[in-house]
Amino acid sequence: MEYPDRFDVIVIGGGHAGTEAALASARMGCQTLLLTHNIETLGQMSCNPAIGGIGKSHLVKEIDALGGAMGLATDLGGIQFRVLNARKGPAVRATRAQADRVRYKAAVRGMLENQPNLTIFQQAAGDLLVENDTVRGVVTETGIRFHAETVVLCTGTFLGGVIHIGLEQSRGGRAGDPPSNALAQRLRALPFRVDRLKTGTPPRLDAKSVDFSVLEEQPGDSPTPVMSYLGRRDMHPRQVSCHIAHTNERTHEIIFANLDRSPMYSGVIEGVGPRYCPSIEDKMHRFADKASHQIFIEPEGLDTHELYPNGISTSLPFDVQLQVVRSIQGLENAHITRPGYAIEYDFFDPRDLKHSLETKFIHNLFFAGQINGTTGYEEAGAQGLLAGLNAARRAKGLEAWWPRRDEAYLGVLVDDLITLGTKEPYRMFTSRAEYRLLLREDNADLRLTEAGRALGLVDESRWAAFSVKREAIERESARLKASWVQPGSAAAASIEEKTGKPLAREYSLLDLLKRPELGYGDVAHLTGEPVDDEAVAEQVQIQAKYQGYIDRQQDEIDKLKRHEATPLPTDLDYTLVEGLSHEIRQKLAEARPATLAQASRISGVTPAAVSILLIHLKKRR
């Protein structure tokens, strides 16, 4: 049947990419349909119920700064929060939250159901309506035809999904959910490059059968961090601890003795798995000399006894999984509630996408999430938001929008994917960003919320809260700059006591704050009233301490922008350019770009490589 209402945007899949895509499009005022297999699984975490971590919290905060759901859902569902790398510089600091999977899912569903312009419909999409290389709508597996201007595909691990437990195989999108086979076949008939990837998950344990007395307790941080810029501690449910266990030689012997029963090592699984989230079989292989591996025993929620043993993802047969688990101290009597498994699925080469995440071959069709070869909820959510907003802009007849690499991790993520492609599940790291000092998790709102407001993604209340915060930061920085401490004064004595050095001359509070030994709390009260908003104080401190480095990175970006039109000589011998990798030399020699801007758009030519080219050109002159 033809569905009577026409939509601006249809989003297929209610996972992390799909929910952010649908919410973004609807926030921008587009009539949006979210079509998903099962309304009960909206926002479901397929694997570990945890959000954030290094590189990933940066993406969550960017989603949040653009009005998305993930940060707030984490604050509503988070049962343990920690700041990783807390003692290192702010560029690599990252917030991580263990979530109650039921509360997280409920929070996402609540936001979807309360979002104006958004219609949710439960059914599998089986086909795309395509005319003249342009998508026109979607047909469900029972034959309902929905029409729209644009379609965003966010089907995760479901396309042609095959689940492996030992040498047993079954078809599924993840445990308990059907695969998407009709749609997978349809997509394989279109001109996209398609390949297989795999990922895996550990067995879950019953907490009643675990001896916590021999495990190391890992409480959350105090005071408890928040994830969203609008988050408050009083939103969090009760906070609990995680625990740490360890594999041992016996565990490793069991795994080695059974590798021939692992589908990965017997050649049954062909898809490549995530390098940075390896299975326990992979770890045995790659770190053969290590006598023990850490396992984080993490709660799945407040109202369940199920535990997630983070670090023993496996596709070994169930009898081996049980032996592995029971070989670990504290888990000798553990009961497995769900076996671990690996899943193989289709993904599409992201080099067939534009920066907007629209496909190059089918107009108005966008791909986001695991379907593009990434792994992780955060990577999926960030792409979903970008694809959703661009699908909405296309439906409105507007130009595409995306952030640059120096503006957001989202810019790095999309640029990496569409220029480099990926051979293994791609996850975000701070090391992937050239301008880490600018792209901190603490300033995603200052980088993006204004753009989000202009795009129609940021509502009145977020904009008001952001404006108040931004003004407070400016006001407080100005106050510190204009407040002086004189040698010999009581304020100077306080500084001298903290630093152990005499104050030789007059200093402003802002200059004092630049000293490594002094924090905002040490200086702000010396003259006048400090602010009591922690986020404002933190921002004032980071900006003061890192301004020199931040300015230098900004200069580098400005310099590159200024030199974009610089011509590259046609006879340039790239083998003579010192500091370029062999791969980049080869690509440049083949493509022979006319300008630095053209060079920078060649897949794999990074901003660092462009900078090297610029230096080489200057030396040639």
Binding site for ligand FAD (CB under 6 A): 12-18, 35-38, 41, 46-47, 124-125, 154-158, 173-174, 177, 180, 183, 199-201, 277, 313, 343, 369-370, 375-377, 380
CB of 125 to ligand FAD, least distance (A): 4
- Nearer to ligand FAD by Cβ, of 178 and 487: the residue is 178
- Give exposure, 340-360, as e/b (b: 16+ Cβ within 10 Å): bbbbbbbbbbbebbebbbbbe
Rounded-to-integer distance, Cα 406 and Cα 281, Å = 38
CB of 101 to ligand FAD, least distance (A): 12
- Nearer to ligand FAD by Cβ, of 180 and 553: the residue is 180
CB of 381 to ligand FAD, least distance (A): 7
- Nearer to ligand FAD by Cβ, of 188 and 501: the residue is 188
- Nearer to ligand FAD by Cβ, of 324 and 380: the residue is 380
CB of 35 to ligand FAD, least distance (A): 5
Bridge-based pairing of strands 32-36 and 118-122 is parallel
SS3 percent helix, strand, coil of the chain, rounded to 5, is 40, 20, 40
Going by C-beta distance under 8 Å and a sequence separation of 6 or more, which residues neighbour residue 114?
A: none
Rounded-to-integer distance, Cα 394 and Cα 398, Å = 5
- Nearer to ligand FAD by Cβ, of 157 and 611: the residue is 157
- Nearer to ligand FAD by Cβ, of 262 and 611: the residue is 262
CB of 118 to ligand FAD, least distance (A): 15
Residue 88's identity, in one-letter code, is K
* C-beta of residue 561 within 8 angstroms of C-beta of residue 555: no
- Nearer to ligand FAD by Cβ, of 150 and 553: the residue is 150
CB of 411 to ligand FAD, least distance (A): 19
Residue 299's identity, in one-letter code, is P
Q: Which pair of structure tokens corresponds to residue 38?
A: 């099962």
Bridge-based pairing of strands 341-348 and 242-246 is unpaired
- Nearer to ligand FAD by Cβ, of 129 and 602: the residue is 129
CB of 16 to ligand FAD, least distance (A): 4
CB of 394 to ligand FAD, least distance (A): 20
CB of 172 to ligand FAD, least distance (A): 9
CB of 435 to ligand FAD, least distance (A): 24
- Nearer to ligand FAD by Cβ, of 200 and 593: the residue is 200
CB of 147 to ligand FAD, least distance (A): 17
Q: Look at the block and give the residue holding tokens 């060079």.
A: 599
CB of 383 to ligand FAD, least distance (A): 8
Sign of the Cα pseudo-torsion (114, 116, 121, 127, in order): negative
- Nearer to ligand FAD by Cβ, of 99 and 183: the residue is 183
Q: Note the helical H segments in 114-200.
A: 181-188
- Nearer to ligand FAD by Cβ, of 156 and 456: the residue is 156
Q: Which pair of structure tokens corresponds to residue 128?
A: 């795309």
Q: Which pair of structure tokens corresponds to residue 535?
A: 């986020």
* C-beta of residue 95 within 8 angstroms of C-beta of residue 232: no
Bridge partners, residue 163, by sequence: 170, 343
Rounded-to-integer distance, Cα 557 and Cα 323, Å = 54
Burial class (CB in 10 A: 0-12, 13-18, 19+), 239: middle
Rounded-to-integer distance, Cα 99 and Cα 85, Å = 20
Q: Which pair of structure tokens corresponds to residue 403?
A: 């952030």
Long-range contacts formed by 108-112: CB under 8 A, 24+ apart = 108/19, 108/42, 108/43, 108/69, 108/73, 109/39, 109/42, 109/43, 111/19, 111/23, 111/69, 111/72, 111/73, 112/14, 112/19, 112/22, 112/23, 112/34, 112/42, 112/43, 112/69
Sign of the Cα pseudo-torsion (456, 457, 462, 466, in order): negative
Bridge partners, residue 200, by sequence: 342
- Nearer to ligand FAD by Cβ, of 171 and 620: the residue is 171
Bridge-based pairing of strands 216-218 and 162-165 is unpaired
Q: Note the helical H segments in 16-165.
A: 16-27, 56-65, 70-77, 101-113
CB of 399 to ligand FAD, least distance (A): 26
- Nearer to ligand FAD by Cβ, of 180 and 430: the residue is 180
Q: Which pair of structure tokens corresponds to residue 460?
A: 């009145």
